[in-house]
Chains A and B, each alone.
Chain A
Amino acid sequence: MATTHGDTTSTGPRERAAGYQRNTLDILESEAIFVIREVAAQFERPVMLFSGGKDSIVMSWLARKAFYPGRIPFPLMHIDTGHNFDETIRYRDWWMEQIEARIIVRSVEDSIKQGRVKEEDGPNPSRNGLQTVTLLDALSEFKFDCALGGARRDEEKARAKERFFSFRDRFGRWDPKNQRPELWNLYNGMKRPGEHLRAFPISNWTELDVWQYIQREEIELPNLYYTHEREIVRRDGVILAIGPYNQPVDGEAAETAWVRFRTIGDMTCTGATESRASSLADIVNEIAATRVTERGGRADDKRSEAAMEDRKKQGYF
């Protein structure tokens, strides 16, 4: 598998605009790296969560840059819902080699087998709720005291008030009323035994920032993000991929369309968008012109207006 990052030839002095100007991406990159290093320094056993989505790919790339020529001083962890696209899994293993990182995988499937959780019924069984249990179990299994996540504040209203360092009680719960004020760039990661924190280094990035950064850094993404022909079904205004975990139900018709994904999560609830964008430049243009938020394509957020807030309180990201 060819890579474009392995290129070590360009080590000359960076071109710098006159007057020491720094653009948005430089500022956001530096801020995210600062937060990732704070986590590495302040915690005994941090972990970085990896979903295979573009945000966690960017976050792990930032971790790579933060410590280079050293290796990332903590493991990454993937909570596999068992409903992932095959390509996500293949990409994950390839990407870990590129960034020389170590990955731990824990699966919802196992949690179901162990009777920790029970699968939802109905035509649209989502494992998003279930993965919270698997995640919390994994955190305590490895005694992780801080989990880095790729959440962004622009994704959803409840996240607009999230901190960089988000405090969770002994039950992994997020209490919006019990968050620590964050001043300047001073992040307080102190905690008592049993408590842990979540840290969100790309809090201040927007979807467009992420795509522009991917373009600038020439990061390779799974093909799912680019246009491809796929069997889909339209359900409640959301385009869902047809696959082993998701079949058309009564009255729904399967069709073939040119689609791509704006986010990649569980196959059962990640909506695709019709798009012909085949390059990063196409995608950046498409995002800049788009009129629907990326979570608008996620069936799980549509369940109620405060859906995200409720899931967060239970320990979801």
Chain B
Amino acid sequence: MGKARANDTTPTTLVKERDLLRFTTAGSVDDGKSTLIGRMLFDSKQIFQDQMDQLEHSSKLRGEENVNLALLTDGLRAEREQGITIDVAYRYFSTARRKFIIADTPGHEQYTRNMVTGASTADLAIILIDARNGVLTQSRRHGIIASLLGIPHIVVCVNKMDLVDYSRDRFDEIVAEYQAFAQKLNVHDLEFIPVSALVGDNVVNRSEKTPWFDGAPLLQFLETVTISADRNLVDFRFPVQFVVRPHQDFRGFSGQIVSGTIKVGEEIVALPSMQRSRVRSINFYKEELQEAIEGESVIITLEDEIDISRGDMIVRRHNIPEVEHEFEATLAWMDERSGLARETNYILQHTTNRTQAQIDEILYQLDVNTLHRNKVDTLNLNEIGRVKVTTAAPLFFDPYDRNRNTGGFILIDPADFRTVGAGMIRYSSRSTIDELKRDERSRRLEVSQSTEITWDPGLVGPQDRIRRNGHRPFCLWLTGLSGSGKSTLAKEVEKRLFDEGLHVVRLDGDNVRHGLNGDLGFNREDRRENIRRIGHVARLLYDFGHAVLCTFISPYEEERSFVRSLFPEGSFLQVYVRTSLAEAERRDPKGLYKKARAGEIRGFTGVDDPYQEPEQSDLVVDTERLTPEEAVEQVLSLVHDLLK
């Protein structure tokens, strides 16, 4: 038999260390989506000669003059005949820097199912807008779906620029309209590129016809966009797939590390048994690794004989996911035969685990064109809604926004086993605000009973204060990672509002923890109490007529909701000051990340305690993309809108 003929010295032309970018394209056939992909493959010389011959042949048969690049991606015969793409088609190409996997999905409303499927594994979404038509309902729909599925990067290609004379004004107009809309979404990174897929402007090569555009052409952008920061390297989650036991002395748990990292010797907990042990070895084929990271398929052995089987999850002792059988989720319905039925016991598949599940309540159906919430009794094909789910056995999950692999699930029809729904867990129902409120009520009750305190409104009423101060009171709550720039931003805003004559006060994490909350630590309970006290202080200041600025990491959704609940509707504004963990860690103004990484601080947000990204903020300020001045202006304009 021939030897592996690898050991000669012929140089290999391609760079070996290419990484991988998965992206999805959404748009209807009229937007020129298939043409755009065809153009990318063609101009980057990814179309083979026989494919080209076939393409020319097919185009001729259809009586078309030019080679129809769209035919390259329209796969199945039925679709070729109808001239539309009806399923998710995967395409591959690579450049010297990256390999790309394209999930090409149709854009029409009736194919929301396909868009959701394609989006579930994507790092980036390309949304096409026809420059002549501008921002249409479907352009918004694509953005909403990309945001719901947690795609970190969105590139809007304003296509057919050749048909609007490469007009900068037209491009700027579309950009402004889409940006205004995207403020409402949870989108981390939004780029705009003016292109013509048909002619090839700014697809692979920079166009001379858009000298006013100083961004990168599409392919160059795709090659360079940073995706490593999107990975969750904090929360070690290892769903066990298959137990490998070749002989008495080896019992290994095989699986893929879906997030985080693990080292030999680290202390672990197995869920649901909660039994503890340590990692004895991490094996991959004949190698023994010292450490394994997110994305790797390995086999882990433990120091102790504990009972673990498929569907269990191995995690770090000090970083445990939620273990609940009740939670809220966003659910996309995918079945064309029947809608969601509340009496059905669906099979829920989550990580490597399956259990039974019922939908207890449909809170609302989300109109994917407008974000409007509708009251409904069921969800039908292509509809997306917010639901409450109860499972027979508890799930081990993280909120989807934090971890796509432990936050996503599918529903399977128990009769014929078709996949009928796809869900994204938002947070658990049990441990949320209800509990916090109950907790807080009992506290308040205790206090009033023991000292017989009653609330004294005083002789000065709220209207008197407004008249004197010249503005209504409000609370502006800034949440975000340590190092995101909350305090810097708040200080500037405070100065500007003060100069405008507002009665403004600022509560800051560090200051409050010195005195008022000096008795509290950083465990889950103390963090809760910290925010509870701050919330009440802010409310008191509000009652005295002030503009209250609060800057707290406030990593948990339930606490942020709690604080919001203390204020009347329309007088509380939440601003999410966003930055990637990597960037926050790079800034590290107080050296806290370094200490946390070194293990000197425990329970530090972003390192060994989660930050739950807010789902709905009044404003998202991305300090990686905006200058400090721009950030201040955005916050000020939000405040001015409120005071109008």
Instruction: Give B46-71 interface residues, CB cut-off 8 Å to A.
Output: 48-51, 54, 58
On whether the beta carbons of B296 and A212 are closer than 8 Å, the reply is: no
On whether the beta carbons of B296 and A309 are closer than 8 Å, the reply is: no
Within the complex, the shortest CB–CB distance from A236 to chain B, in Å, comes to 13
Instruction: Give B70-106 interface residues, CB cut-off 8 Å to A.
Output: 73, 75-78, 87-92, 94, 99, 101
Whether, in the assembled complex, A70 has its beta carbon less than 8 Å from a beta carbon of chain B, the answer is: yes
On whether the beta carbons of B5 and A69 are closer than 8 Å, the reply is: no
Chain B residues whose C-beta falls within 8 Å of the C-beta of A91 in the assembled complex: 1
Instruction: Give B245-302 interface residues, CB cut-off 8 Å to A.
Output: 245-246, 250, 252, 254-256, 261, 283-291, 293-297
On whether the beta carbons of B89 and A183 are closer than 8 Å, the reply is: no
Whether, in the assembled complex, B4 has its beta carbon less than 8 Å from a beta carbon of chain A, the answer is: yes
On whether the beta carbons of B75 and A181 are closer than 8 Å, the reply is: no
On whether the beta carbons of A22 and B19 are closer than 8 Å, the reply is: yes
On whether the beta carbons of A30 and B285 are closer than 8 Å, the reply is: no
What separation, in Å, do the CA atoms of A16 and B17 have in the docked complex?
A: 12
Instruction: Give A1-57 interface residues, CB cut-off 8 Å to B.
Output: 1-2, 4, 8, 10-14, 16-17, 19-31, 33-34, 37-38, 40-41
Q: If the complex has contacts A20-B293, A221-B4, are A34 and B241 also in contact, measured as CB distance less than 8 A? A: yes
On whether the beta carbons of B11 and A281 are closer than 8 Å, the reply is: yes
Chain A residues whose C-beta falls within 8 Å of the C-beta of B416 in the assembled complex: 192
Within the complex, the shortest CB–CB distance from B493 to chain A, in Å, comes to 35
On whether the beta carbons of B88 and A161 are closer than 8 Å, the reply is: yes
Whether, in the assembled complex, A256 has its beta carbon less than 8 Å from a beta carbon of chain B, the answer is: no
Q: If the complex has contacts A27-B20, A192-B417, are A184 and B91 also in contact, measured as CB distance less than 8 A? A: no
Within the complex, the shortest CB–CB distance from A192 to chain B, in Å, comes to 7
Q: If the complex has contacts A69-B244, A161-B76, A161-B88, are A22 and B295 also in contact, measured as CB distance less than 8 A? A: yes
What separation, in Å, do the CA atoms of A158 and B410 have in the docked complex?
A: 26
Whether, in the assembled complex, A66 has its beta carbon less than 8 Å from a beta carbon of chain B, the answer is: yes
What separation, in Å, do the CA atoms of A230 and B8 have in the docked complex?
A: 24
On whether the beta carbons of B246 and A285 are closer than 8 Å, the reply is: no
Which of A12, A20, A183, A204 is in CB contact (< 8 Å) with B408?
A: A183
On whether the beta carbons of B254 and A281 are closer than 8 Å, the reply is: no
What separation, in Å, do the CA atoms of A253 and B8 have in the docked complex?
A: 36
Chain A residues bordering chain B, tally (CB within 8 A): 93
Within the complex, the shortest CB–CB distance from A209 to chain B, in Å, comes to 7
Which of B92, B231, B293, B347 is in CB contact (< 8 Å) with A190?
A: B347
Q: Is the interface of B mostly helix, strand, loop or mixed?
A: mixed
On whether the beta carbons of B10 and A279 are closer than 8 Å, the reply is: yes
Whether, in the assembled complex, A191 has its beta carbon less than 8 Å from a beta carbon of chain B, the answer is: yes
What separation, in Å, do the CA atoms of A16 and B294 have in the docked complex?
A: 13
On whether the beta carbons of B244 and A67 are closer than 8 Å, the reply is: yes
What separation, in Å, do the CA atoms of A281 and B13 have in the docked complex?
A: 9
On whether the beta carbons of B408 and A309 are closer than 8 Å, the reply is: no
Within the complex, the shortest CB–CB distance from B616 to chain A, in Å, comes to 24
Chain A residues whose C-beta falls within 8 Å of the C-beta of B48 in the assembled complex: 290-293, 296
Which of A8, A218, A288, A296 is in CB contact (< 8 Å) with B14?
A: A288
Whether, in the assembled complex, B6 has its beta carbon less than 8 Å from a beta carbon of chain A, the answer is: yes
Q: 1/0 contact trace for A169-189 toward B, CB 8 Å?
A: 000000010011111111010
Which of A24, A65, A186, A192 is in CB contact (< 8 Å) with B99?
A: A24
Instruction: Give A126-182 interface residues, CB cut-off 8 Å to B.
Output: 153-154, 157-158, 160-161, 176, 179-182
Chain A residues whose C-beta falls within 8 Å of the C-beta of B54 in the assembled complex: 305
Q: If the complex has contacts A157-B75, A296-B50, are A1 and B246 also in contact, measured as CB distance less than 8 A? A: no
Whether, in the assembled complex, A79 has its beta carbon less than 8 Å from a beta carbon of chain B, the answer is: no
Whether, in the assembled complex, B334 has its beta carbon less than 8 Å from a beta carbon of chain A, the answer is: yes
Within the complex, the shortest CB–CB distance from B346 to chain A, in Å, comes to 12
Chain A residues whose C-beta falls within 8 Å of the C-beta of B412 in the assembled complex: 188, 190
Interface 9-mer from B112-120, B541-549, B587-595, B598-606: B112-120
On whether the beta carbons of A183 and B1 are closer than 8 Å, the reply is: no
On whether the beta carbons of B8 and A279 are closer than 8 Å, the reply is: yes
Whether, in the assembled complex, B409 has its beta carbon less than 8 Å from a beta carbon of chain A, the answer is: yes
Within the complex, the shortest CB–CB distance from B287 to chain A, in Å, comes to 6
On whether the beta carbons of A289 and B13 are closer than 8 Å, the reply is: yes
Give the residue name and chain of the B residue nearest to A167 (CB): B418
Whether, in the assembled complex, A261 has its beta carbon less than 8 Å from a beta carbon of chain B, the answer is: no
On whether the beta carbons of A184 and B228 are closer than 8 Å, the reply is: no
Q: 1/0 contact trace for B413-438 toward A, CB 8 Å?
A: 00011110010000000000000000
What separation, in Å, do the CA atoms of A69 and B231 have in the docked complex?
A: 30
Whether, in the assembled complex, A226 has its beta carbon less than 8 Å from a beta carbon of chain B, the answer is: yes
Instruction: Give B305-355 interface residues, CB cut-off 8 Å to A.
Output: 310, 334, 347, 349-350, 352
Within the complex, the shortest CB–CB distance from B432 to chain A, in Å, comes to 24
What separation, in Å, do the CA atoms of A17 and B20 have in the docked complex?
A: 15
Q: If the complex has contacts A10-B287, A14-B289, A204-B101, are A280 and B349 also in contact, measured as CB distance less than 8 A? A: no
Which of B16, B246, B347 is in CB contact (< 8 Å) with A212?
A: B16
User: Can you offer 18 A-B residue contacts whose CB atoms are under 8 A?
Assistant: A13-B291, A20-B231, A24-B94, A29-B297, A33-B297, A41-B241, A66-B254, A67-B244, A70-B246, A70-B252, A153-B92, A161-B75, A181-B422, A218-B4, A220-B2, A226-B2, A284-B12, A293-B50
Residues of B within 8 A of A (CB): 1-14, 16-20, 48-51, 54, 58, 73, 75-78, 87-92, 94, 99, 101, 113-114, 116-117, 120-121, 228, 231, 233, 241-242, 244-246, 250, 252, 254-256, 261, 283-291, 293-297, 310, 334, 347, 349-350, 352, 404-405, 408-410, 412, 416-419, 422
In the A-B complex, the 4 residue pairs with the closest CB atoms: A190-B417, A296-B50, A281-B10, A279-B5
Residues of A within 8 A of B (CB): 1-2, 4, 8, 10-14, 16-17, 19-31, 33-34, 37-38, 40-41, 64-71, 90-91, 94, 153-154, 157-158, 160-161, 176, 179-186, 188, 190-192, 203-204, 206, 208-209, 212, 214-216, 218-223, 226, 278-282, 284-285, 288-293, 296, 305-306, 309
